[in-house]
Structure 1
Amino acid sequence: MKLDEIDLTDLDFFVHGDPLAAFRLLRAEAPVYWHERKPGQGFWAVTSYEDALKVYHDPTTYSSERGMSLQFNQGGTENGNAGFGMMMITTDPPRHSRIRQVINRRFTPRSVSVYEPHIRKISAAIVDAIIEKGECDFVVDIAAKLPTAVTCEMMGIPREYWNMMFELTNMSIGTEDPEYQQGRTARETGEAAQAQVFSYFSQLIADRKNNPGDDLVSAFVHGEIDGVKFDEMEVLFNCFLLIVAGQETTRNATSGGMLALIENPAAAARLKADPSIVDTAIEEILRYTTPVTHILRVARHAAELSGNRIRAGDRVVNWNISANRDDAAFARPDSFDLTRTPNDHLAFGHGEHFCLGANLARLELRVILDEVLRRIPDIELAGPIERLRSNFVAGIKHMPVRFMPKGTTAGEGPGTAPRLSSK
């Protein structure tokens, strides 16, 4: 493989190719590389950990207001989206931090810890639903269920709409995947998903104006910045962000984490035998799977990055998947080491835009993996996995698994391992 043969915009390469090998070459030969396979759609591919940190920690130079990914920013100065500058993920300081403050208290470690008993109850019910069958689609039947339930509950969305939100999230992220396109173009798929999400939230927002609750939608509806309330489009776009991001990262980390544990039985056995390593194990799962493959920025002005001249308006893409495998930052980066420390990975980004829901995602990941490993210790693959056609998220759409059918008694008991409890 040569540098000019690498096409990071080829989505099929991320499904059927070896992107880790491509990133290994880029880090070695051109860690900041001008990648232009189609005229007018070039970008700087930032693949080293050190350079990615520089971009993340310099919002004055590298703006978030032109979109968060290549999927939603196809290049060209005319390209835009009505949500840019409205959603937390596509705003710059100081407004970005002020928007976060409206809901930030819901995601502090102390606030999140209160949810654990309820999250355990949901997780137990998820495993109860499949444990007698002896087989299931791990993604659809397990990994997706918990973040969908938790996110919808936090947003005050009634249970009868949860499956719709799951399907619309798939469409929103999987605009380039035939399974979710269903004969539409990528643009049509994304627009259809957004229209349906906005239609639903418009009704929910109208209700929360007169009937506020202790939920995230109400927090945005009645929230203020410097005494000024959000307009309805700002509320809609941030609700759209929360419902998609709240499901996607945790689902993919759970699926990818379980796949890594199945493929590394010694690591899985150690985790089952020694639950005290769960905190470092969760961080390693996040580093190793890197659910969000890349994050995009746009240069506000001319700059220099590791000897490369960045022009004003250039797209600069941090490839988290590569930075998290950089041997300059991580010893034996391709090894799945559940006791790795330190492990300051970029799975949740870094700097101003560090993932708001990171604490919640870690808790969900720990609890659902605990429930599965204790109650279904013999889980194994039952067929090929199907990956999402995307270079934005490391998504697994389907992962058939099998195990010995068991009873539905949750909690401690014969055949269950000790709980994975955080320190």
Structure 2
Amino acid sequence: MRIPQEIANSLVDPVVFGDAGKMHESYTWLRANMPLAVAEPEGFDPFWAVTRHADLLEVSRQNALFHSGDRSPTIIDREGDAFVRKVTGGSPHMIRTLIHMDAPDHPKYRALTQSWFMPQNLRRLEERVRVIAREAVDRFLARDGECDFVADVALGYPLHVVMEILGVPAEDEPRMLRLTQELFGAQDPDQARMMMAMMTPEQIFTMVKATVDDFESYFRVISDDRRAHPREDLATVIATGLIDGQPISDFEATSYYIIVATAGHDTTSSSTAGAIWALAERPAEFAKVKADPSLIPGLVDEAIRWTTPVKTFMRSATEDTELAGRKIARGDWLMLCYASGNRDETVFEDPFEFRVDRKPNRHLAFGYGAHLCLGQHLAKMEMRILFEELLPRIKSIELAGQPEMSQASFVNGPKVLPIRFAAA
């Protein structure tokens, strides 16, 4: 079965992802009519669009059958893929992070830092995170009743937390934010290094490579310093990490830094802003969670489901198989549509309603299986603490203008969120 061309094109169009309504129109139609079918967007290799919650789980739990690293784990067109392979000498990967790996490498590299992100370790960071959250709330309240919540709170708060854990000096945080936006927002005209409307795929990926090179030059200095002067930070763990008794390569160390330095805050920023956007539009939900702070963890999970910052990942089949009654051939590419799974009507009651007290909330925004997000506990802790500090100090919140989403088909979220608020 072949997905209608207009819908197929929407699955890879960054402009569509910048309009959540349009994106969910495509996903809703697919779940109802063609929940597992082949899309052939113009300029792209064909891929299976996996849109149902159950099928997303099925693919995600079979990591030997559906690989992340054989092809690009993020959607890329033919010209872009050819250019990446040209500049890398044949590899489909410009960097090699955990999302680009399969066993046996993936569990080994994940184990390097996994203990840092476990709840028992994060508890010792909780008071420091609370101090950072209070400072963020103080700055927010100083805005005198109106601000852009993305620029003034959502971007800086999780960025500061992750950079402190990583060991990046505070004065370098603006550089890390800029590079993150260039990497994840390369399709967005407001976040890219230059206007993209007239750029060829080769020019676009040259721009992305320049961003990766900037990261590499920055973290090379950090690595050299930590090897000479180890500290109690994550950069030291990466710089001195051993795999099978051997130091990891500079390329893989840089890749590790990049995934922690970018995904470690960008997705949390998006979900945090998504929560405030939803509450600003729903006074009853705001009143509910404000009256009962025990609902804050539920608000956090619902905001993550609602926003689903990582929209898609790609997998490729390692052998002929069957999924949901469809025959998948070895080498077939599959797009895991997490934002669709998180609106699946068979799993979530009233999936297009934002409910701070939603239970159960079996969202897939952190993925599932071996590639379950390494930083999920940190992200939820950061959001919980921020809302614990923020909600008691405001008595109302509303939109003060038109919010905007970033235009990107891999990772996206709110990029402008004008709000008006009254201090408690």
User: What is the TM-score with the length of structure 1 in the denominator?
Assistant: 0.91
The range that moved more, 307-316 or 244-253, is 307-316
State the identity %: 34
Q: In structure 2, what is the Cα distance between the partners aligned to 1:44 and 1:368? A: 39
Gaps (5+ residues) in structure 1? 407-414, 416-423
Candidates 75, 97, 104, aligned match of 1:87 = 97
Deviations 1:210-233 (A, max 9, x none): 111111121012121221221111
Runs of 4+ in 1 over 3 A off after TM superposition: 71-86
Matched residue, 1:146: 157
Alignment partner of 1:61 is 2:65 = yes
SS of the counterpart of 1:304? strand
CA distance in 1, matches of 2:400, 2:80: 41
Question: 1:102-154 CA deviation, whole Å, 9 max, x = no partner?
Answer: 11111111111221111111111112123122222111110111111011111
- Give, in angstroms, the shift of residue 77 of structure 1: 8.0
How far off its partner does 1:84 sit? Answer: 6.7
Letter in 2 for 1:110: Q
Distance 1:226 1:112 in 2: 27
The structure 2 residue matched to 1:310, chosen from 317, 328, 331, is 328
Moved more, 183-192 or 371-380: 183-192
The 5-angstrom pairing of residues 168-187 of structure 1 reads 168-181=179-192, 182-183=194-195, 185=199, 186-187=204-205
Shift of 1:377: 2.9
Cross-structure match for 1:5: 6
Of 386-395 and 78-87, the range deviating more from structure 2: 78-87
TM-score when scaled to structure 2?
0.90
AA at the equivalent of 1:70: I
Answer yes or no: is 1:197 the counterpart of 2:215.
yes
Structure 1 residue 210 corresponds to structure 2 residue 198: no
Aligned to 2:30: 26
The secondary structure found in structure 2 opposite 1:120 is helix
Counterpart of 1:68, as a letter, is P
Moved more, 190-199 or 16-25: 16-25
Corresponding residue number in structure 2 for 1:155: 166
Q: Counterparts of 1:402 and 1:84 in 2: how far apart (Å)?
A: 42
| 8 A contact 1:41–1:75 mirrored in 2 | no
For residue 37 of structure 1, the aligned residue among 41, 44, 61 is: 41
Q: How does 1:24-423 map to 2 (within 5 A)?
A: 24-65=28-69, 66-71=71-76, 80=85, 83=93, 86-134=96-144, 135-181=146-192, 182-183=194-195, 185=199, 186-404=204-422, 415=424
SS state at 1:89 partner: helix
Alpha-carbon deviations, 1:174-194, whole Å to 9, x = none? Answer: 111111222364323312211
Is residue 270–residue 309 contact of structure 2 (8 Å, CA) maintained in 1? yes
C-alpha contact 1:283 1:343 (8 A) present in aligned 2: yes
Deviation at 1:76, TM superposition (A): 6.2
**Is the alpha carbon distance of 1:251 and 1:85 closer, same or farther for their aligned partners in structure 2, counting shifts above 3 Å?**
closer
The answer as to whether partners of 2:271 and 2:303 remain within 8 angstroms in 1 is yes
Question: Match of 1:129, SS?
Answer: helix
Q: CA separation of 1:336/1:274 partners in 2, compared to 1, >3 Å: closer, same or farther? A: same
In the alignment, the residues of structure 1 paired with residue 390 and residue 412 of structure 2 have an alpha-carbon distance, to the nearest angstrom, of 21
* Distance in 2 of aligned mates of 1:167 and 1:85: 18
Q: Cα distance, 1:301 vs. partner?
A: 2.1
Tell me if the contact between 2:281 and 2:399 (Cα under 8 Å) persists in the aligned partners: no
Task: Determine if contact 2:75/2:410 at 8 Å carries over to the other structure.
Answer: yes
Letter in 2 for 1:160: E
Contact 2:166-2:235 at 8 Å conserved across structures = yes
> Pairwise CA RMSD of aligned residues?
2.0
Q: The residue matched to 1:379 in structure 2 has which SS?
A: strand
1:243 to partner: Cα distance: 0.5
Secondary structure of residue in 1 paired with 2:259: helix
Corresponding letter in the other structure for 1:96: H
Which residue pairs with 1:420 in the alignment?
Answer: none
